[in-house]
Structure 1
Amino acid sequence: MIKLHLPYPPSGWDLYDGWGAKRRLSPTYKKWRTDAGYFIKAPSAPIDKPFALYVALRRQNMRQDLDNRSKAILDCLQHYGVIKNDNLCERLTMCWDSELPAECVVIVQVCEEGMAT
């Protein structure tokens, strides 16, 4: 199990600028990913098995959607070598929590066989 305290992730709408061949990471996402990197200590080898991701966020306002924060988190974990590929995520649990010690708490855990049964 890996537990991380990260800065509040950007919305999925704020991750990229441009379309098609001109699509690039946005400055907002680049800054967040760099800032998040200071809090991430990658394991000696990335998780290369199916895993579960648990995310708790401290809600900043009532207009925000919980679900569109997951893309930034998963891509960041892959970028810093915590996970081999975000397509290995078999379970994603997210919630709002006003009592968190950080803006975003992430737990990555290798799935046990038969968890879904």
Structure 2
Amino acid sequence: MIKLHLPYPPSGWDLYIGWGKTRRLSPTYKQWRNDTGYFIKAPKQAIDKPFALHVALRRQNMRQDIDNRSKAILDCLQHYGVIKNDNLCERLTMCWDSDLPADCVVIIQVCEEGMAA
């Protein structure tokens, strides 16, 4: 199990700018990913097995959707070598929690056989 305290992730709408060949990371996402790197200590070997990701967020306002925060988190974990590929995520749980020690708390657990059901 790996537990991380991270800065609040950007919305999925704020990750990229441009379309097609001009698509690139947005300045907002680049800055968040760079800042988040200071909070991540990658394991010696990236998780290369199916895993479960549990995310708790401190809600900043009532207009936010919880579901569009997961993409930034998964991509960042892959970028920093915590996970081999975000397609190995078999279970994703997310919740709002006002009593967190950080804006975003992430727990990664390798799935046991038969746990995906």
Instruction: Give the alignment's TM-score, normalised by structure 2.
Output: 0.99
Match of 1:56 in 2: 56
- Aligned-partner Cα distance in 2 for 1:49–1:30: 27
| Aligned residue number for residue 38 of structure 1 | 38
1:22-101 correspondence runs (5 A): 22-101=22-101
Q: Distance in 1 between matches of 2:111 and 2:63?
A: 33
1:35 maps to amino acid: D
* Partner Cα distance (2:113, 2:93) in 1: 18
How many residue pairs end up in the alignment? 117
Moved over 6 A (4+): none
* Identity in percent: 87
Q: What runs of 5+ residues in structure 2 fail to find an aligned partner? A: none
Consecutive unaligned residues in structure 1, runs of 5 or more? none
Partner of 2:8: 8
Shift of 1:114: 1.2
Distance 2:50 2:84 in 1: 10
- The SS at the match of 2:53 is strand
Whole-Å separation in 2 of the counterparts to 1:111 and 1:83: 13
Q: Aligned equivalents of 2:25 and 2:2: distance in 1?
A: 26
SS class of match (1:69): helix
For residue 43 of structure 2, give the secondary structure of its aligned residue in structure 1: coil
